[in-house]
Amino acid sequence: MNTLRIGLLLLTLGMLLGCGDDSADKSPPPASTATSALAYVGLFGDNALAVVDVGAGKVLATVPVTAPDGIAITPDGAKVYVSSNDSGSVAVVSTASRRVSATIAVGAQPSGLVATSDGKYVIVAVQGDGEAVIIDTATDAVVARAAVGKAHSAATNPDGTLAFVASQAQDAPGVQGVDVPSATPTKLFPLDAAPRALADVQGKLYATLVGSADVLVLDATSGEKLAAVTTGGSPHDVRPTRDGTAVLTVSQTAGELDFIDPASSTIVARVATGTMPHWIAPSADGRAVYVTNEGDDNLVVIDVATHAVTKTLSVGKAPRKIVVRP
């Protein structure tokens, strides 16, 4: 009898413990850590796309892509598009498998890429053929083309319905508007020099120019020239911080990242980055900015609040374009 009572007591105790609050027994989901910050970097010197764990400070994998020039990532972080300048194609890289899942023929010398804010389309500046090519990301097929002389790079307006394509045509440099997804040309904004990179920020179009130390500021609707911001020389990429309170550009001559106040069109901070800074990518949370240094084979992490370099990572030969997984 004593044995039976002890058994019943143990059984009852086990049932009581099992019927308690389930949340007490469940571990909370793992917190997001710095090691979850993944960047994708085109290594022009290695003919590869590097997958970089920024928090851990190491390259996790490389994906072969010859002459990786332009790069874009879908807003859901599922796919990275990389233009292969020498093959006339765009490689589609699955971020889950870290493999090329598709190859899209676009034309001779594809250069800069940009994804629309809804992730439905990627616009490719195809320099050799003088076209802006629009890719449907659902099918990874080309759906439209527009003639743009010596197309070099592209940006989009906030809702992704209009692309601004940098034309480096020697006789008529400028910014060509292209409707998305129809690829219908809209307005052309003539420029005095060939544009390199573009960014639409709060109705202002920022453009860096070949052979100029200035970042040109245009009205994004009319093309009216509003201001010119003088950098340390040879500005290349230009884009806003996540919260839009500053516009960023890299000066390749000075080897620095410049913070531009969009209200006054003046540089409010300069941060030394390294040799030949090429491209900029804000971190997913907006607290940091990543800059590739093509001449130093590395990328640096810059704190947006303090304007200080907090980390330097070796990533491979001649890193150019960079995007960050959301």
Which pLDDT score is estimated for 62? 98
Confidence of residue 36 (pLDDT cuts 50, 70, 90): low
| 0.85 surpassed by pTM | yes
* pLDDT at res. 19: 37
State mean pLDDT over 259-274: 98
**Which one, of 82, 179, 75, lies nearest residue 124 by Cα?**
82
Average pLDDT over residues 294-299: 98
Q: Which amino acid is at 59?
A: V
Task: Report the C-alpha gap between 68 and 321 in whole angstroms.
Answer: 8
Report how far residue 40's alpha carbon sits from residue 61's, in angstroms, rounded to the nearest whole number: 10
pLDDT digits (tens, 9 = 90+) for 108-149: 999 999 999 999 999 999 999 999 999 999 999 999 999 999
What residue type is assigned to position 123 of the chain? I
pLDDT for 34 beyond 70: no
Sheet holding 277-282, edge to edge: 277-282, 288-293, 298-303, 308-314
Check whether 209 has a pLDDT greater than 90: yes
Task: Sort residue 51 into left (φ over 0), alpha (ψ -120 to 50) or beta.
Answer: beta
The 10s digit of each residue's pLDDT in 150-199 is 999 999 999 999 999 999 999 999 999 999 999 999 999 999 999 999 99
Q: How large is the average pLDDT for residues 282-286?
A: 96
> Is the model's pLDDT at 53 over the cut of 90?
yes
The yes-or-no verdict on residue 106 having pLDDT over 90 is yes
In this structure, what token pair is assigned to residue 243? 């919260």
pLDDT at 23: 32
Confidence band (pLDDT; 50, 70, 90) for 32?
A: very low
Quote the mean pLDDT of the chain: 91
CA dist 142 and 121 (Å) reads 10
- The more confident residue out of 6 and 131 is 131
**pLDDT digit string, tens, across residues 152-161:** 999 999 999 9
Q: What is the DSSP letter of 18?
A: H
- The residue ranking higher by pLDDT, 18 or 69, is 69
Q: Is the pLDDT of residue 3 over 60?
A: no
pLDDT of residue 25: 33
Confidence bin at 10 (pLDDT 50/70/90): very low
With residue 8 as reference, give the H or E element that holds it: helix 2-18
**For the chain, counts of helices (H) and of strands (E):** 1, 28
Q: Each residue of 215-243: pLDDT tens digit?
A: 999 999 999 999 999 999 999 999 999 99
For the chain, give percent helix, strand, coil, nearest 5: 5, 55, 40
Beta strands 256-261; 48-53: pairing state:
unpaired
Position 309 confidence tier, pLDDT thresholds 50, 70, 90: very high
